[in-house]
Amino acid sequence: MKTDIQIAQEAKMKPITEIAQNIGLKPEEIEQYGSTKAKVSLKVWDRLKDKPDGKLILVTAINPTPAGEGKSTTTVGLGQALSKLDKNSMIALREPSLGPCMGVKGGAAGGGYAQVVPMEDINLHFTGDLHAITTAHNLLAAMLDNHIHKGNDLNIDPRRIVLKRVIDMNERALRNTVIGLGGRAQGVPREDGFDITVASEVMAILCLAKDITDLKERLGKIIVGYTYDKQPVTAAQLKANGAMALLLKDAIKPNLVQTLENTPAFIHGGPFANIAHGCNSVTATQLGLKLSDYLVTEAGFGADLGAEKFFDIKCRFADLKPDAVVLVATIRALKMHGGVDKEQLSKEDLEALEVGISNLEKQIENIKKFGVPLVVAVNKFPTDTDDEINFVIDKCKEMGVEVSLSDVWAKGSEGGLDLAEKVVKTIEEKPSNFKVLYDENKSIKEKVEAIAKEIYGADGVEFTSKAKSNIKQLEKLNLDKMPICMAKTQYSLSDNPSLLGKPKGFDITVREIKVSAGAGFLVALTGAVMTMPGLPKVPAAARMDIDEEGKISGLF
Ligand code: ADP
């Protein structure tokens, strides 16, 4: 069996100029990065803003296993299959981070015969967006410490600084650091630390900003820390946001590439799915809707987190109206939800499946709460047996939900034709009545409770004393009327990763509430949330190589 990289290297890519032309872009509206990648000017918006939008399809999943369940693969495969049906379709995905790429997961550009290409470039430095975000963020950090060193006119309390530095690498040794050591001339010593770049608020902002003006305003609202009398200090007060926006002038433009079958794809922005909203940029999604009749996009983690944030944060801010949801389920993950050990997932186990299906049932119920019609896609793995597949398909039918067996990983578009047909039919026959889950003007407690009870199935929410004091402070500062971005384990509907299936009789514990004032949401932290991952004992990087001819291996 060929590896993802081998399949990607055999792709017959079209020149990016041709891909751009096919979706109606003019030569002056793209900037080429080599022959197979391009950035698209945001000026296109002026030309297309009155054109009706295409249909918006969100791909999400049940609670996953640690390997990922194939959301990106299904997104790409569905886009390819829609093209195969002669539909004018596009894909919008997140751009990968080097941290997980070099760490556990390897590349993040789909898999098998459903990938975006050039896969190596997309997974490595691509068009430099992550570099630009890292630099913009670290400029703010540098200006902050310089301000304190040069007299601290803003009266910033160095013990109340909330902005860390960032790097696009899994680097546990940098989680907690001390800076400014070495004497008077080296700055003011204080405790600091690093987050991974995709956890930067700058990334979340880039993904939510409509244009440069909006970007600059949002960057200006980033809270870097608090004064000695507990007042927030912002990037605008440090006069950093103009230069930050300048550093992001190209990063804000969506990147255009193609799939293995030449379907056009935007790969743009990649905020963390825990402390941020985990979706590609609003600009890419909105442009994609103008340039195609069907735009397939994806949200990180399972539907309880990813889809909820896609709806309640991204769609709310960008006024997007999703037309359909594709809910990806795998037999492997359903068996895991039924209690099967990770090592035993390749063995047939109908009993476990019967128990584990409860996770799919709850996620279906949740999607229905947002009023968007859905199709379940069973992402077929080579180890699935016919009896297992039929069981899941029959269950979906019993629930009255459209279902399709998707084999896009092994067969590309051919393996997704049934799914594509069912998605088109669903959109044509079932109008979407999309609505967000809660009113953002409600109290923080009410908003968190709505998500925990309605979506996770929790009995209630316990706020620790720290969270309660955060809420008081945020209310006092008038920073409480924003949507909630839940930071929770992706492996369970609850905040306990070991509670699989559809857990009952649990409370969610919120231990802290942070504000991302520039992005425009409040982050409710449950459990242990990692903003700087570490590398495993044998990192994926240890398998990667390049030869004299520039041929890359080991990148999955
Ligand atoms: P997600 O987007 O849910 O994290 P991905 O689409 O990135 O998941 O897939 C995760 C990994 O699983 C990739 O390496 C991909 O090649 C592999 N994969 C996805 N679907 C299948 C499948 N049906 N059979 C075998 N491997 C698959």
How high is the ipTM of this complex?
0.99
Residue 258: name the closest of 19, 525, 521 by CA. Answer: 19
**Ligand 1 centroid, distance to 69 Cα (angstroms):** 6
- What pLDDT was estimated at residue 553? 85
Share of the chain above pLDDT 90, in %: 91
Mean pLDDT for the stretch of residues 142-148: 98
For ligand 1, what atom is nearest to the CA of residue 61? 3
Above 90 in pLDDT, residue 138? yes
Mean pLDDT for the stretch of residues 325-341: 95
Pocket of ligand 1 (CB under 6 A): 4, 61, 64, 67-73, 108, 110-112, 379-381, 409, 556
**Ligand 1 centroid, distance to 68 Cα (angstroms):** 6
Provide the sign of the torsion angle of the four alpha carbons 227, 230, 235, 237, taken in this order.
Answer: negative
**Ligand 1 centroid, distance to 200 Cα (angstroms):** 26
Above 70 in pLDDT, residue 467? yes
The alpha carbon of 405 is separated from its chain's Cα centroid by a whole number of angstroms, namely 25
Q: Which of 38-52, 76-90, 524-538 has the lowest mean pLDDT?
A: 524-538
Residue 479: name the closest of 522, 526, 437, 450 by CA. Answer: 522
pLDDT grade for 274, boundaries at 50, 70 and 90: confident
Angle at 277 between CA 203 and CA 50, to 5 degrees: 80
Residue of the CA atom closest to atom 25 of ligand 1: 381
Residue of the CA atom closest to atom 8 of ligand 1: 70
Catalytic residue flag (residue 45): no
Catalytic residue flag (residue 504): no
State how far the Cα of 474 lies from the Cα of 334, in Å rounded to an integer: 40
For ligand 1, what atom is nearest to the CA of residue 76? 6
Share of the chain above pLDDT 70, in %: 99
Mean pLDDT for the stretch of residues 378-384: 94
The binding site for ATP consists of: 65-72
Residue 251: name the closest of 532, 494, 42, 542 by CA. Answer: 42
Pocket test for ligand 1, best of 73, 80, 94, 411 (most atoms within 8 A of CB): 73
**Ligand 1 centroid, distance to 93 Cα (angstroms):** 14
Catalytic residue flag (residue 303): no
Catalytic residue flag (residue 273): yes
In this structure, the strands spanning 89-93 and 223-227 are unpaired
Residue 487: name the closest of 511, 505, 460 by CA. Answer: 511
Mean pLDDT for the stretch of residues 274-297: 96
Grouping H, G, I as helix, E, B as strand and the rest as coil, residue 507 is strand
- What pLDDT was estimated at residue 100? 86
**Ligand 1 centroid, distance to 464 Cα (angstroms):** 37
For ligand 1, what atom is nearest to the CA of residue 64? 3
Mean pLDDT for the stretch of residues 114-129: 94
Residue of the CA atom closest to atom 24 of ligand 1: 381
Higher pLDDT, 395 or 1: 395
Tokens describing residue 38: 């391009």
Number of neighbours of residue 84 by Cβ within 10 angstroms: 17
State how far the Cα of 171 lies from the Cα of 147, in Å rounded to an integer: 27
- What pLDDT was estimated at residue 556? 75
pLDDT grade for 160, boundaries at 50, 70 and 90: very high
Task: Tell me phi and psi for residue 422, to 5 degrees.
Answer: -70, -35
Catalytic residue flag (residue 108): no
Catalytic residue flag (residue 272): no
Above 70 in pLDDT, residue 382? yes
Above 80 in pLDDT, residue 230? yes
- What pLDDT was estimated at residue 106? 61
Above 90 in pLDDT, residue 163? yes
pLDDT grade for 1, boundaries at 50, 70 and 90: confident
Mean pLDDT for the stretch of residues 521-528: 93
The per-residue pLDDT for range 478-497, each reduced to its tens digit, is 999 999 999 999 999 999 99
- What pLDDT was estimated at residue 273? 87
Residue 466: name the closest of 524, 393, 517 by CA. Answer: 524
Above 90 in pLDDT, residue 69? no
- What pLDDT was estimated at residue 168? 96
Above 70 in pLDDT, residue 447? yes
Residue of the CA atom closest to atom 12 of ligand 1: 70
Mean pLDDT for the stretch of residues 450-466: 97
**Ligand 1 centroid, distance to 334 Cα (angstroms):** 15
**Ligand 1 centroid, distance to 174 Cα (angstroms):** 30
The binding site consists of: 65-72
State how far the Cα of 193 lies from the Cα of 285, in Å rounded to an integer: 33
Which entry of 47, 105, 411, 442 is annotated as an active-site residue? 105
Which entry of 55, 71, 218, 502 is annotated as an active-site residue? 71
pLDDT grade for 67, boundaries at 50, 70 and 90: low
For ligand 1, what atom is nearest to the CA of residue 379? 23
Catalytic residue flag (residue 458): no
For ligand 1, what atom is nearest to the CA of residue 112? 16
* Residue-averaged pLDDT of the chain: 95
Catalytic residue flag (residue 409): yes
Query: Within a 13 Å sphere around the CA of 151, how many CA atoms are in the beta-carbon half?
Result: 2
Residue of the CA atom closest to atom 19 of ligand 1: 70
pLDDT grade for 107, boundaries at 50, 70 and 90: low
